[in-house]
Structure 1
Amino acid sequence: MSSMQEYVIHIDFVDCPGLGYEIFRLTELNQVDKIAMEVLPNHGMVIKFRCVSEEQAQKLAGDLTLVSGVKSIVFRDQMPYEEREHELRTILDSVSEGILAVNKKGRISHINEVSCRLLQCGKGVAGLSAAELLGASSLVLDTLRTGKSYRLKEERLQQGGKAIDLFTSTTPVRNEKGQIIGSVATIKDVKQVATMLSKVDKMRRLRSFDDIVYQSPKMRQLVGYASTVAKSSSTVLLRGESGTGKELLAAAIHTEGPRYKAPFLAVNCAALPDTLLESELFGYEEGAFTGAAKGGKKGLFEQADGGTLFLDEIGEISPSVQVRLLRVLQEGTIRRVGGVNEIEVDVRIIAATHCDLEAMICRREFREDLYYRLNVIPLTIPPLRERKEDIPLLAQYLIRKICTKLEKTVVRLTRESIGLLMNQEWPGNVRQLENTLERVINMIDATEIQPGHLRAWTDLSASKRNGGNLYWDKEGLQFELSPDGRWPHLREIVAGVEKEVIQRVLKKYPSSRLAGQVLGVSNTTILNKMKAYGIEE
């Protein structure tokens, strides 16, 4: 007697009564042994069967083509579920970490090659109890019992009398009713994680031009210029409003340049008092001042030797620091606070400011010679309101980033919400856009961000004029009531008054430091308010 052979046929049909019965009648009539059947969407059926010869299989196929409603008969190599299983195994075996899944009975349903290598077993363990391989107290079985997830938790397993140290992450698998029907574990060797963290630690500050999200012609031109500039070691001056991404561009210039292996260090010059900024930049000798560390301390110039130093808010440095910075740019040497020796440094300077340095030079607030030393290669980052075609792309990128950080399912913006975002002025630029989206994502529990969510949890509105109902004209503060007669929120009124006061003081005292003295607040407070309201010095 000939051995039985397996065949798979794919039947396409039009839906008509009694078709299924007729197909099964013919399989019985042709004396084939049915093994499996799968019904496909769009009127398709796949049958796997055994018979003694190919002639018998071909006869069945010929009989089926005569059935009313059958459109075509095609032989195929595998059942659809077998193809899906093969694809799943290929995917699981292609990832760099171990993956192991158990069903609701605690038996191993899937295991990839990495897991087999880490656990020192073969793929034949599929179908066995996970407790036999991993132990009854393993994390993947605890997740199956309790529904509790673990993230990179250390786990020690005993295998063949040898301890195996792993980092394990687990998550339960639930059905549509929320019942636990299995669990999945991803496992990494402790040494593998240590190596990975070491690489991440070295690269965590590096950014490239690929990290800059844009599609507008203005940004395309800017990134093109920056890519060319990155190849040299010349000083760069980045101009642009607060929140446009000056530090990101500076880091990308460093990463894509010849100094990428050396440090990239950044300091916000407006965030530190003069004396502290001076010691941070140039370092100090032991005993230079009360509280100075024993042995002194290297400044950022020394730490960044061979690399890049990013000086943000360069327009805020005092005249004394300007003089010392000018010397570094001219001579390539620094002198620590309290020191007498000149120390050679090789540092590329990338400076950034939102201030009008040319106007500050006219007011004798910024040294002209330092300006020319810094302004070797000027690059201006356009504000978000001048590249609104970037907003949809930026918003989706930021949403993915925020949802990952908050460990939430990624939400999407409706078309109306995108339109609302594009209709704003964004005085705080990309930083304000990111903060707005993060606030909304924190507050809602939905798969889509609707315009109502944006209006409920942010200061955005359909109008660009201070919320649509509060504005200033020649006669002072004015209110435009909404159609239903509602007044503006108190916070809008207070913000409008505060913005107007700061603008009027800055007209008479055109410096954040002077304005802060007049209003009795710190320079940092004035700067923060100016950033929030989009006020330029």
Structure 2
Amino acid sequence: MSGCPGYGKKEVIGRYILDIIPESRLPEVLQSGRIHEADIWSVNGRDTIVTRLPIIKNGKIIGAIAKSLFLDVSGAKMMLKKLQETQQEFQALFEALIESPYMVYVIVDKNGFITNMNKTYLDALALDRGEVVGKHILEIIPESKLPEILSTGRIDKADIWPINGRDTIVTRLPIIKDDKIIGAIAKSLFLDMSGARILMHRLQETEKEFRAISEALIECPYMVYVIVDKDGIITSINQTYLDALGMEKSEVVGKHISKITPTSLLPEVLKTRQIDLADIYTINGQDTIVTRLPIIKDGEIIGAIARSLFMDISGAKILMNKLQETKKELNIYREELRQGYQAKWQFKDLIGQSPAFLKVKSVAEQVSHSVSTLLITGESGTGKELFAHAIHNSSDRSSYPFVMINCAALPDSLLESELFGYEEGAFTGARKGGKPGKFELAMGGTIFLDEIGDMPLSMQTRLLTVLQDRMVERIGGTRPIYIDVRVIAATNRDLEELVANNKFRQDLYYRLNVVRLDIPPLRERSEDIPLLAKNLIKKINQKLGTKINKISYKTIELMQNYGWPGNVRELENLLERALNLADMNRENSITIKHFPLMVENTYFRDEPNPSTLPDAIEQLEKQLIIQALEKTNGNKMQAAKVLGIYTSALYRKISKYGLDEL
């Protein structure tokens, strides 16, 4: 090791570790398989953070590795000079990592006082080093979890942490010396929200495999790599590649890449900045897939790297074919899913010209380009679902699924499995292979939670967690699933009242009520009724195969005086009934007589109680005439016979009561 003066490589290789480094704890790692995440170790009188971990193959410990990074810059330079034999490249690497604009870190002592913080973190906090070092971590970062790490010794391997308004993956771990916690470190890499959560999930999912692979990667017998500087001079090469070339490191490092491998394309990468993600390259008669890419700092190329994994060409082709087949299959499934969960309506289908309606439609068009959670409120039948469809179709997510679920239509247990899915064997009757939930099916698109006010409280808690973490976990599952879904919720209930009565979670209400659309009821936009009726009649004619397009003025007037408790849905239902009646009687227009229930409700619902006997008689007379005309389908001669009066008298009374259209 570079920290052991007085030894050469030949004097160390093949010797027992304790003969060279008596204080080494690698035998303990070999025996226990335990991982030492961060410990203080003295190398040549200089303290360093060291990580020790076993190397595992096929479930068995086949070796162990100890790696360290000197805390001060000079120590780091010395270490890398020994390891890489080039101080200049280390400086670039060190600056790119430690003072990278993408990486932040902070170190505290056992009492929580800051001992070190890098420039990127200082810049994010808008502070100078003198204002930070020596202060307690909670004084600088009140929400920091490092004091918990100090008290519990817990390791947070991947957590989301906001820094200056940006989400990042943070790793927190204690610093241990002689089995005692003497400090803690938090380090992180800036990422956007979606990238951070995806990466966190990937890291948590494959952490054990990642650790074993990453530590053995550089000297893996199946991987080769070579690094050159900006002039094409080889600065680093691993032993596997040297063995394939049949050369020693001293014969290679410092030479131009074309002198060692004349067919190398790295000079071209340096010249063109071109990235070769997957190319077939022959090394010592063996075909391999190689990746070549430039190394860039501050916009300038400072070198290039080629790395590859040995495999025969048939294996490469098989892998490539499998990937292509999987991609095709995935695209087929994705298109089937999109077709099965596709929004139907667009903003042009939302009919109305009243100021109230145009205002809410304009707001809906604006929020369609947002990713914020949306709450749509309004009475039953006002068209909340149509607005949700139109918003999705106008958004950047329109090519992805639009998935609907009615929260009031399913019992608690079934609603949970529909929303979140389940794993195989999660419960009796569970489908073999499990089933994805609606949130998974809506990946990349929109999920519409209708009747959210009727969702059970137990489900509200789970939904709140999903909205906060953007993760779902299937019933019977053990791993979280990241979701990229926009949530649109709708209700005809008063959520504020439900919150006040403890029937709806207040925190969920605030989470849903980020952007809100209130759809006006039909009675508050009666001027839209003629336009709505015209469009609905056209739609119903196509459905029924009828050709009745006329509607009398008196009928429109009647509609505008009606209260419409069922809103647009009720209007459509009554128009369909009227068209059926008119078609059965071979009539070519819709009149008041085709709306008997609406006539009765409109004329008598708000009729004041008669104060005199003549008023009561007139009210009764009018009602009897309407009923007689309904029974005779508007035949006035037959209606007169039913009423027992002359036809001429009936005409006079119809005119008196304004019933000419009946």
**TM-score normalised to the size of structure 2?**
0.41
The structure showing larger relative contact order (alpha-carbon pairs under 8 Å, at least 6 residues apart) is 1
Larger Rg: 2
**TM-score normalised to the size of structure 1?**
0.50
